[in-house]
Every structure is written in structure tokens, then in C-alpha cells.
Structure 1
């Protein structure tokens, strides 16, 4: 039964709704990828593989992962607002959900903002992603294939932080800082599965600097096991050796799943000279106290394994609608003491991006990687471009032609 309500009584409600906003947004990024060498199986005599052509979503082989999301705010008065983001990733090549099948696997958080900063709670990015990553080649023009081997420093936000609380300061004289803490949620053990991260950024005219630090206890589950399809602590959520019928997964650092803690420290800087921007970056990724009960340890590692990563990049805005990019990345792996000599990865990348409109662009990427030494599986390292199936040899080439539309 419906009742008529005097219009005057509706005015407060209409005023409240007028102070709120919700925006639907998204990206669809899909393209054709060519890989000159991809493993198909592993036998007693070595790897088998061949060339590969595929249609891939941007989240594994392009500039950006396809997504749709809702973001909104409500003005509470006095500069105070309620804010939220719900963001879902999907694979445009086949329509399936990304991030292991999570409904809002990219981001899901709610919080409050004011003139003193903002506090948010939910599934969020860490501060390495917030401050260090934006100055790298991958998020600017190169995407996942251009990222550091297996995204070892999480600069392409492969992993999100569940159950996290974050504070982000307002920007003051070009300076911003933030901190994140994730509760492990394990009864009787406050430190188990906890994650924390801090970061800061500074921008002044043509100069930009960003730095971040992340510390994850029991990373095999707290960091690498946060998607719905991840296994328990006894599973290697970082990757696997494969079998006679399947290729390897993440030979760069999957052998270090038994680490008691993961630590990532990273810093990057960029400087713009006219239409050209140059950038440099360094990160140190450490898998500490190997041999703990955090994950499987079939190779019986102990001690600490870590990676030095150095990137140099440049982008040239040739015209308002045409961009060129180039980058070189060097990674040196240091194996646990007395185990093996570690691996080296050298990555060279080129990219071109042409905007047909403000919302649609077409692009081309070419990536070459060379590997040497001994990888985390204690075997001769093979090239493994991020997002691609590892090669059977020390070299690998990947090429992509893609289209991206934003709405």
C-alpha cells in the first residue's frame, strides 16, 4: 500500500542524495601475443617447447588488466567524506574473472577522507605499488611483460593486501606519505600472516621521487595466497616445478616458498625534460629465514635469498597522441649461502602507443629477456618474461599488438 508524502518532507532526503556520487568506470585491454619459445612439457632429457600465438588480456600480456569498478563518495560536511572503491578484474579474451576468481579482486575498500588525509579498510595496494611503481616503465607504457622478472617486487600489483588498514596523508609542499597494516587474523598468534608497508612520494616540477617498503610474515599465504584459488600453507602459491606434462611456473623465485618473511625495499625517480621523461629505479627483494613452516621446501633451503633489481627507462611524447618508450632492466639473484650461485636476468623493452581518442588507443610492445646462472629451482635458469610461459632456453622474445578502451 503506497502513501503520499508531503514534498517538504522529501527535501532533506533529496539534499542528502545530492551530496553523494557513484561512478561506474572500467578498462578493456586485449591483444595478440607472439612468444618465440614457450615450454610445453618437461622430460627426463630436458624441456620441450615451441612458438606460441595467443589472444591475451592486458593483465597478463598488455598494458593494463581489464576491469570494471564502482567508486563513490558522500559529503558529510566540514570537509569529511565517506569514500569507497569496488573494482573487479576480468579476462577480456575469454570473459572469466581475474585475481583467482575474486568478485572484487583488484580492490575492495571503504573509508573516510578529510583535510588531514584518508583512512581506508579492505583489500588494497601496498605502498611499493602506490609510490615506487608509478615511476617505472610497466605502468606508464609497457605493462606486465615489461615488468621485472615475475613481478618480484610487486610493482605491477600482482598481489593485493587483504584485511588491511591504510592511512594516506594529504599532499604538503609536494610530499605525500602513507602506511598500511594487515591483521593476520590467526587466534593466539598476532604476528602470523601479518603484513605492513610504508611509503612516501615527492613531486616538484619536473622531478618525481617515490619509495616504498613492504614486510610480509608467512608470505606464501599472507601475500602470495590471497586470491580465492590459492592453496594452503603446504602449497607453493608462488609457482611450481611443473611435470612431464606441464611447464614450470615462476622459476625466478618459486623455490623460496618456505620463507618466514618477505621484505621489499624500493626507490625510483623520474625527471622530465620537455617532452621526454627519464627514470631510474632500484629494488631489493628478500626471502628471509628459508626452511620455516610457511611453505613447502623440497630443495631444503635455509638462510636468506634476495634479488637486486635496477631499471632505467625513458618515454618520449612525440605528439599529444603518440608515445614511444624504452627500458632496460637488470636483476641479480643471490641464493642462500652455500646453495648455488643465483641467477641473472636482463630485460630490454620497446613500446609505441597511439591514441585514437581520449578513451581508445592501439599499441605495440616488444620484449627480449636473457637469463643465466642457477634459478630458485636449483637448475640452469631459463628466460621467463613476466606473464608468459617460461622458455626452454636462456632467451625469450615476446611481441604484442593490443587495443585498449577506457570507459
Structure 2
């Protein structure tokens, strides 16, 4: 009898511990077949590249991750989330790369999508590690195709380049009666001193986002600034990127509308007035029909280049996307997409054409969440 009571008490203790903490393994596999065609035209050449076949990550990047939570009591929880991307075609999760200067090898990949651990409570969450920025989250929430491979809105105007999706450091997120607050800060510095030489490598990043959601309506704004300083013998070069966006969505039931405006300024060196600016406006709609849905997006983008503080070139273009989804279940769906991305025609300030870039995408795919 005594041994039975001890066994029952032990099982109860294990059950209580299990109830207070949990670990979840999850993932997503997205494979599509199609064609990606890119065209690059200069005054003297025209380069057309076609990639046809199977690829990974059409609507969402294929991934596998593990996340967990432990109840610490008094409303406080310890949480973690580690997530890696992988190629759903061949299973690759990383590759070996060599630095051209140091000749050292390193692994690129691993848990490179999300790697955070922290605390969560009534105040929100404070996480340490690498996480998505408030601007990334805003763009994802205000686009009809949520930053898919084919969508129109990710500041990749053909000449302006893309935006910074993640920051390594400390991250805060909280929601108070529909008002969402997000912030991130990252800092790192390495100095090497020798008898005849010194070198510096420093990075610093700031990000802030605010949003408001009430029923079918959501609106938000977010911005970020990333600085990187490198140099030797006291001669330092600081590159700076400033990015921000505003956007919103409204769900009418029969259709959901999305819209945003995004801006980016990239400075290779803050001591020289040579930089580029890119901005874009995007609008999209998602219309459900039971298990099926159709999506459409349109984006207008612009680019401006400056040398010594004077504008020397400009570009603009128009992107579009149409597509359809059919859900077999909550976890598995098929999709089709067609569209144009990165469209831009570059001209100097006299209106003389300097070049054109354009991307075209056609795809049919399958997505499964587990």
C-alpha cells in the first residue's frame, strides 16, 4: 500500500511538471514547379535568364523549428523558439562557405530564421537572440500574399535592393487593448590591436513598430535603422540603412483589402553624400470562396541615386501578381501564381535610358504545415 501511494505521488508530480512546461516541434514544407525569368538590359547588352523546374519556398520558406514554454508562476513564463530554413527539394539545411580574405570556413544556415529565448508575462515578451523586425512583421500583415516569393512589396525595386528582415539583440513585443508595441535593439563591437595596425568592426541597429487592431480593421507603422562600421588605423567607414513603412488592412468578409507604403535609404558611407533611395506603394485583395481563394496585388516602385548630394539617376516601375489557393485542410493547400516583380526602367536626369530590369514568375505548388 505504501509503495502504491509513493508511485501515485511520483506520477502526479510528473503530470504537474508536464502541465507547467511544454515543447513543440513544428514545420512547413513548400514545393513548387514553375519558371522564373529575369531580364537585364543596358545600352549595349541584354541578358535574359530563365530558371525552370522545382524549387522550395513559394508562398512561405520551408522550415522546421522547436519552441517551448515553462510556467514560472505569478503569470511569468520562460519561452524559446529556434527555427531553421531548409530546401524542401533536396533537404539541405546549411552549406559550407569560405571567406575570401581569411580563407576560413564557416557553416551558413542552422537556426537562421529565428533564434530567441526570453520571458513573457502581462507586460508582453522580452526575447534575446535573432528575430524578425517590426517592419518585417508590418509588411507581412499588410500584403495580400504575405511576402511570398512572388509578391510585389518588399523594397526590391530592381535597383533599390531589399530590406533588412532580422536583427540580433533584444526584442520587445506587447499588446494592450488592441495597441501593439514592438521594439528591437542590437549592438556588437570588435577591435583588434597590433603593433602596427588596428581594426574595427561594429554594428548597431534600432527598430520600432506601433499598430492598432479592432475587429476587421488594422493599421500600423514601423521603422528601423542599421549601422555597420569597419576600418583600420583609425580610418573608419560607416554604412547606414534607414527603412520605414506604414500600412493597414480591412476585412469586409467577402474580401480583405491590404495596402502599404515602404521607404528605404542606403548609404555606403555616412561621410560621403553618395546614397540611394527607394520607395513603393502596394495594394492587394484576398477573396475567399469556401475552401478556395484568389489573390491579386499591384505595386508601384521608384528609385533615386545620388552622388555628392546631387541626384544623378532615377527609375520607376510597376509590379503585379495574381493567384489562387485551394485548401484540402487547415494544414495542406495547393496554389498557382503568376506575376511580375522588380520591374524598373533606369534613366539619367536628362531622361536618357540607362537600363531596364524585370522579373517574371509562374508557379504551381503545394504547401503542408506540420
> Tell me, which stretches of 5 or more residues in structure 1 are unaligned?
1-5, 222-231, 235-257, 294-300, 384-394
**CA–CA distance in structure 1, aligned partners of residues 133 and 200 of structure 2:** 20
| Alpha-carbon distance, 1:176 to partner | 1.0
Does structure 2 retain, via aligned residues, the 8 Å contact 1:36–1:397? yes
The aligned length equals 334
**Could you tell me the TM-score, scaled by structure 2's length?**
0.81
Greater fraction of residues in strand: 2
In structure 2, C-alpha distance between the alignment counterparts of 1:373 and 1:106, rounded to whole Å: 34
Name the counterpart of 1:401: 364
1:90 to 63, 86, 102: 86
Which of the pair has more CA radius of gyration? Answer: 2
Are 1:338 and 2:310 an aligned pair? Answer: yes
Asked if structure 2 preserves the Cα contact closer than 8 Å seen for 1:131 and 1:200, the reply is no
- In the other structure, the counterpart of 2:195 is none
1:150 deviation in Å? 2.7
1:184 pairs with 2:188: yes
In 1, Cα distance between equivalents of 2:49 and 2:182: 46
Q: Which residue of the partner structure matches residue 278 of structure 2?
A: 307
Q: Which residue matches 1:204?
A: 214
Query: Could you say which residue in structure 2 is the equivalent of 1:173?
Result: 177
RMSD (CA atoms): 3.2
1:132 touches 1:210 (CA, 8 Å); kept in 2? no
**SS of alignment partner, residue 95 of structure 1:** coil
Q: Which residue of 1 aligns with 2:256?
A: 277
| Separation of aligned partners in 1, 2:321 and 2:238 | 31
Q: Is the 8 A contact 2:30 2:62 kept in 1?
A: yes
Residues 155 and 264 in structure 2, CA contact (< 8 A), matched pair in contact too: no
When residues 207 and 346 of structure 1 are mapped into structure 2, their CA distance, relative to the original with a 3 A threshold, is same
Whole-angstrom CA distance in 2 between matches of 1:159 and 1:217: 14
Q: 1:348 to 1:43 in 2, by over 3 A?
A: closer
| Contact persistence 1:128–1:199 (CA under 8 A) | yes
Aligned-partner Cα distance in 2 for 1:176–1:136: 18
The answer for the alignment partner of 1:351 in structure 2 is 323
Residue 373 of structure 1, aligned match among 333, 337, 346 = 346
Equivalences for 1:197-236 in 2 at 5 Å?
197-218=207-228
Instruction: Decide whether aligned partners of structure 1 residues 351 and 292 sit closer, same or farther in structure 2, where only a CA change above 3 A counts.
Output: same
Residues 111-131 of structure 1: CA distance to partner in whole angstroms, max 9, x if unpaired?
000111111000111110123
Taking structure 1 as reference, are residues 43 and 28 closer, same or farther at Cα in structure 2, changes over 3 Å only? Answer: same
- CA offset at residue 398 of structure 1? 1.2
Tell me if structure 2 keeps the 8 A contact 1:259–1:287.
no
In structure 2, do the counterparts of structure 1 residues 379 and 133 end up closer, same or farther at CA, with 3 Å as the change threshold? farther
**Kept after mapping to 1: 8 A contact 2:345/2:353:** no
In 1, the alpha carbon distance for the partners of 2:23 and 2:244 equals: 36
Secondary structure at 1:96 match in 2 = coil
The CA distance in 1 between the partners of 2:85 and 2:142, in whole Å, is 23
Q: Conserved in 1, the CA contact under 8 Å of 2:171 and 2:183?
A: yes
- Structure 2 distance, partners of 1:190, 1:128, is 29
* Structure 2 SS opposite 1:210: strand
